[in-house]
Chain A
Amino acid sequence: MKKLDKINNFYNDDKVIDACSIFGMMDTSGKCFSGKDIIKAIANMHDRGNGLGGGFAVYGLYPQYADFYAFHIMYFNHESRARLETYLEEHFYMLRAEEVPTNPTPNILKPPLVWRYFLKVRGGENSEQRQQDDYVVEKVMDINTRAKDAFVFSSGKNMAVFKGVGYPEEIAEYFCLEQYEGYLWTAHGRFPTNTPGWWGGAHPFNILDWTVVHNGEISSYGINRRYLEQFGYNCTMQTDTEVVAYAVDLLARKHGFPMEIIAKILAAPLWSEISRLPEKKQKMFRTLRQVYGSLLLNGPFTVIIAHQGEMVGLTDRIRLRPLVVGTKDSMLYLSSEESAIRLVCPHLDDARIPMGGEPVIGSLQNPLNSRKTAIQDPQSKTGEK
């Protein structure tokens, strides 16, 4: 681990003021762009992190392997790679295996080996998508709980997570992220509070093509974790944010909820707010709170959740962490600070701060230049009228 006082406190200040930084940008028309801008934007919030974690998620970067699960795996030694590759060969059809290209970066110390594999479920052609996805989740859980010195940190199709210990701009340099292109990027600069700054603990957290970056702290982690364990999700990364990735996989993929509803489960409206809604909505929100009470996220948080074709910004219901939304033509930007957005897009059509608990959704299905439905009006969902 890095020496904290050396990297974080050059001037021997007696107080260090930090917080995580998050940034997301998506071209809702589906056009791909390089990582150049998001690296610049997250680096502008350098002071929020402390160099103990940085990471990126990219969507649409492997079009030539779009039908293959792209496993990204970290190994702490060569033996564990040999062992795990045997396991992968047993359980998957492997089209391609390669080391993720890296670039020596002075501040990235003792990096693990990082490999990626393009995989298909053996005999999967005859089974449904959902069964194949379940199989992948099961295998990822199996590897991450049992394999020694190895773990999967990215397992979706046509997307990838790149993360590690360092400032985000250093991680970007290390993984040569300017060379990739995607239509949706999220990024994170970490200031670890309760858990260690290690390579697996950096954001984004991922399962299948779901990723989450998070600023805050989820004090309901214990309850959320135990609830998710009943559905076969095991938390192994020692960071609270991990539960959000598994929760959205459960709620969206398995239980079939749209993001608007998932936001109301994770950041449920306060009871006082529910009591002012029309009868029918009251019933729905009460039911959601009763059935999914164990997935309510307590404590301060802002998250950017992404998956194939969609990016969602969400804060806790009393907004104890910041989130700014910017739009320009078909681009949607989400950020901890407005200045980071302005740096890469000075002339925004709109910059605003959404209400706590109200999801901001960018989607390929509702491209922004036909912008009536792509962004939620802050008041419309809870309909306080």
Chain B
Amino acid sequence: MKKLSSAQVNAFNMTTRELSCKLREIVADGSERIEIHNTCGQRYIGTGLGAVQLDIYGTPGNDLGAFMDGAEITVHGNAQDGCGNTMNAGKIIIHGNAGDTLGLSARDGKVFVKGNVGYRTGIHMKEYHAQKPVIIIGGTAQDFFGEYMAGGILVLLGLNLQEGERQKANFIGTGMHGGVIYVRGKVEDFQLGKELGTADLNEEDYDALGKIVNEFASYFGHDAQEILKCKFTKLYPLYLRPYGKLYAY
């Protein structure tokens, strides 16, 4: 394998704009792998950088990887709100928790979260032909998981739940009208949006899920087979336009 030319940035005391300019400069100079240290709240990291590898230490700010097009970001810590906003291609691997609206409006690419996520994960994610975003959460999610989801795949593992404990999120998939959600373990009917159907996974589902879980396990040192042993529920939209009668006239 060809060795990537790499660079390091100390983001201490840098503003969002300063860091962003610095990163673009480094990429323009031909670096393909960048380590960012002492990150503290700078926004939009990874935006407009193309297919580079970023290793982020510290706490990156909101909209990490927004509109990202092919970068691979590894966060060695927690991510804040709006991570993966409208991303078009690439990967975000978070070795911690993520905040609210993770992967909002994503068009493609993959997000892997080791820990928990906040409200409205995957809100209005979409897909078109081969473009199919994937978000997988190792821990638990808060409410409105997959709200207004229009495409792509969401996976919620809940690996930190006790045996038999139900998932924590309520209003899962409210307004969902495309894509699919796979939930591991127990989830009650009242936790689901009114627009969802539930089903057992078929072979095709297990095929898709297996690939995602395998990749997830490889990043965070889990045993994929162990994770897949547990029962999963498939959540899918019952209607293409759930609010067609409500808002249209």
Binding site for B on A (CB under 8 A): 11, 44-45, 47, 272-273, 276, 318-319, 322, 324, 337-340, 342-343, 351-353, 355-356, 379
Known pairs A47-B16, A47-B43, A322-B81; A338 contacts B59 (CB<8 A): yes
- Residues from chain B with Cβ under 8 Å of A45 in the complex: 41
- Residues from chain A with Cβ under 8 Å of B99 in the complex: 322, 324, 338, 353
Name the CB-closest residue of B to A341.
B59
| CA–CA, A325 and B99, complex, Å | 12
Contacting residue for B40 out of A44, A322, A324, A355, CB 8 A: A44
Question: 9 additional contacts, CB 8 Å, given A272-B190, A318-B144, A340-B41?
Answer: A44-B40, A322-B81, A322-B100, A338-B99, A343-B40, A352-B97, A353-B97, A353-B142, A356-B119
Q: Is the CB of B41 within 8 A of A319?
A: no
| CA–CA, A338 and B170, complex, Å | 24
Question: At the interface, is chain B mostly helix, strand, loop or mixed?
Answer: loop
- Among all A-B residue pairs, the 9 with the closest Cβ atoms: A339-B41, A339-B59, A339-B40, A353-B118, A342-B59, A319-B119, A343-B40, A44-B41, A338-B59
| CA–CA, A324 and B80, complex, Å | 9
**Between-chain CB contacts (< 8 Å), 6 pairs:** A47-B16, A322-B100, A322-B118, A339-B80, A353-B142, A379-B168
Chain B residues 1 to 33 lying within 8 A of chain A, measured CB to CB, are 15-17
- Residues from chain A with Cβ under 8 Å of B170 in the complex: 273
Known pairs A44-B40, A44-B41; A342 contacts B143 (CB<8 A): no
- Residues from chain A with Cβ under 8 Å of B46 in the complex: none
- Residues from chain B with Cβ under 8 Å of A337 in the complex: 41, 61-62, 80-81
Query: In the complex, how many residue pairs between chain A and chain B have their CB atoms under 8 Å apart?
Result: 62
- Whether B78 sits at the interface, judged by CB under 8 Å, is yes
| CA–CA, A11 and B116, complex, Å | 36
- Residues from chain B with Cβ under 8 Å of A351 in the complex: 78, 97
Q: How far is the CB of B217 from chain A (nearest CB, A)?
A: 25
Contact string, B89-106, partner A, CB cutoff 8 A, digits 1/0? 000000001011000000
Q: How far is the CB of B167 from chain A (nearest CB, A)?
A: 12
Q: Is the CB of B80 within 8 A of A318?
A: no
- Residues from chain B with Cβ under 8 Å of A276 in the complex: 190
- Residues from chain A with Cβ under 8 Å of B48 in the complex: none
Name the CB-closest residue of B to A10.
B17
| CA–CA, A260 and B215, complex, Å | 43
| CA–CA, A169 and B220, complex, Å | 40
Known pairs A47-B16, A337-B62, A356-B143; A343 contacts B41 (CB<8 A): yes
| CA–CA, A352 and B160, complex, Å | 14
- Residues from chain A with Cβ under 8 Å of B116 in the complex: 352-353
Q: How far is the CB of A274 from chain B (nearest CB, A)?
A: 13
Q: Is the CB of B78 within 8 A of A338?
A: yes
Name the CB-closest residue of B to A353.
B118
| Residue among A47, A337, A339, A342 having the largest count of chain B Cβ atoms under 10 Å | A339
- Whether B58 sits at the interface, judged by CB under 8 Å, is yes
Chain B residues 126 to 176 lying within 8 A of chain A, measured CB to CB, are 142-144, 168, 170
Q: How far is the CB of B30 from chain A (nearest CB, A)?
A: 27
- Residues from chain A with Cβ under 8 Å of B40 in the complex: 44, 339, 342-343
- Residues from chain A with Cβ under 8 Å of B58 in the complex: 339, 342
Name the CB-closest residue of B to A44.
B41
Q: Is the CB of A355 within 8 A of B100?
A: no
Q: Is the CB of A355 within 8 A of B142?
A: yes
Q: How far is the CB of B69 from chain A (nearest CB, A)?
A: 20
| CA–CA, A273 and B40, complex, Å | 37
Q: How far is the CB of A38 from chain B (nearest CB, A)?
A: 15
- Residues from chain B with Cβ under 8 Å of A353 in the complex: 97, 99-100, 116, 118, 142
